[in-house]
Amino acid sequence: MSKEANILKSDWDVITIGGSVSGLLAAKGIAEAGFTVQILEEDLEIGIPERCDGLVSMKCLETIGIAPTNRVIQNIIKRAILYSPSGLTIELDASRQRVLVLNRSQFDRELAKIASRSGVDIKVGNRVTNKIEKDGKVRVESKSNIQTAKWVVNAAGCLSLPDKNKILQAAKFEVIGNWFDRDRVEIYFNQMKSPGYFIWVIPISSDSAKIGVAGNGVNQFKILDEFIASKEGTVVKKTAAQIVVGGPIDNFLSGRIVSVGDAAGQAKPTTGGGIYSGGVGGMLAGKYLGESLSSGDSFRIKEYERAWRNLFGKEFGLLLQVRRILERLDNDNIDKIFTAVSSSNILTKISSESDFDYHSIALLKTLGLKNIIQIASIAGVDKLESLRSLLRLSK
């Protein structure tokens, strides 16, 4: 059989490239609207390798309509402690945030089961090599065959981003040790070791944790090896990962190709977390693609980007400002900010009023004008317009 004959037999309403959270949620929504959808996942197993440590709020999971089973929930986080380069600490009460640590691989697999039951066809080990839009369809060439679809959802992750400068290389280890506090996340800032980012410790239990680091122009694996050696621990797993920190791309739509999740830059520029913002992106893309297919109105999908930016645009704009500040801070300035924050009643207010999923807007509102100006001054934000933009976003 010729390839062209195969194309005629293999049309889909939508082909989704990538089987992570955003792609699965988009595909699920399209299938539930009554349309044919296939997921092409390049890895041999959904959720493997695990590129995300799965720190997420219960509110996020409720929003995307997923009730995690006990097999998926690894831990519940009640506190967070931040360390400055010189060892100063800031401790926050996160108990009201209902923050969970997920087994991310298992979470993705359970989501894949839900999508499959909704009618989504999933093909693993099937890397897409090319996609070409022509005559109102998209021709998708993959490892196994060539197919066409009316629309393509690009959920292929950060490597499909047009600007690779928006990606930080990261390392993630799973570690056995005796120094973890089960209910407390730890964050270590040090611009000499992890410039523009930090080391994180997310406990799975009292004797195991997910530990990671990212940074500009550094050897992430060496940094973690040294960090864990100083704490005494046994590494049982090492993984390379990428973190998206550049914010959303200019356009989520390009012809009949719709980008979601990391492929659309829908990960927080400060932490790289994207289960919530990327998951909602997938849900919205699925909703409006279903409406476009139902009505025959291809312009309906444009509502997807508008709806996502209404939900997250302000938060992400502020996070980008915070990232730019973090990238130019030195260790002395980080210590000064820790001292300024610790010497006020800010921590109590942050713990009681912050929002895990929109943490920067809640944080700025809690800080107030006086403290924003003080921290901005320490960070060297001395241009009036930069300070005005921070204040505008915080309102």
Report pLDDT digits (tens) over 70-105: 889 999 999 989 999 999 998 888 888 889 999 999
* Residue-range definition of the domain harbouring residue 109: 3-47+105-156+249-296
- Classified as helix, coil or strand, 124 is coil
Name the CA dihedral angle for 292, 296, 302, 307, rounded to a multiple of 10 degrees: -40
Q: What gap in Å lies between CA 24 and CA 256, rounded to an integer?
A: 18
Q: For residue 132, what pLDDT is reported?
A: 93
| Whether residues 240 and 192 fall in one domain | yes
Residue 267 covered by a domain:
yes
**Cα-flanking dihedrals φ and ψ of residue 72, to 5°?**
-90, -35
Q: Is residue 373 part of a domain?
A: yes
Q: How confident is the model at residue 203 (pLDDT cuts 50, 70, 90)?
A: very high
- Domain of 10, CATH number, reads 3.50.50.60
pLDDT above 90: residue 148: yes
Q: 83 and 211: one domain?
A: yes
The reported pLDDT for the residue numbered 378 is 59
- In the chain, which residue ranges form alpha helices assigned H by DSSP? 3-9, 21-32, 58-63, 104-117, 220-231, 275-295, 302-328, 331-342, 346-353, 359-378, 384-394
In the chain, the percentage of residues whose pLDDT exceeds 70 is 84
The pLDDT value given to residue 314:
87
Is the same domain home to 267 and 369? no
Pair (181, 81) in one structural domain: yes
In the numeric block, the tokens 């994180």 are attached to 200
Q: For residue 225, what is the domain's CATH number?
A: 3.30.9.10
Last residue of a domain, one of 208, 223, 244: 244
User: Is the domain of 259 the same as that of 146?
Assistant: yes
Same domain? For 119 and 261 the reply is yes
* Residue 174 within a domain: yes
Q: Is residue 56 part of a domain?
A: no
Tell whether 65 is covered by a domain.
no
Q: What is the pLDDT of residue 214?
A: 92
> Can you tell me the distance from the alpha carbon of 246 to that of 154, in angstroms, rounded to the nearest whole number?
18
pLDDT band, very low/low/confident/very high, at 9 (cuts 50, 70, 90)? very low
State the pLDDT at residue 187. Answer: 92
Q: How many domains does the chain have?
A: 3
* pLDDT reported for residue 393: 47
Mean pLDDT throughout 294-318? Answer: 93
pTM over 0.95: no
The answer to whether residues 38 and 137 belong to one domain is: yes
Question: Do residues 37 and 111 share a domain?
Answer: yes
Same-domain check for residues 117 and 30? yes
Of 144-158, 227-241, 291-305, 320-334, the one with minimum mean pLDDT is 320-334
In a shared domain, residues 39 and 112: yes
Q: Report whether pLDDT(163) > 80.
A: no
Give the pLDDT mean for 61-70. Answer: 86
274-303: average pLDDT: 95
Tell whether 92 and 175 lie within a shared domain. Answer: yes
The answer to whether residue 188 is domain-embedded is yes
Residue 211 within a domain = yes
Neighbours of 6 (CB within 10 A): 12
Q: What is the pLDDT of residues 361-395, one digit of tens each?
A: 445 544 454 555 556 665 665 544 444 555 454 55
- Is residue 63, in this structure, part of any structural domain at all? no
- My answer on whether 179 and 93 are in the same domain is yes
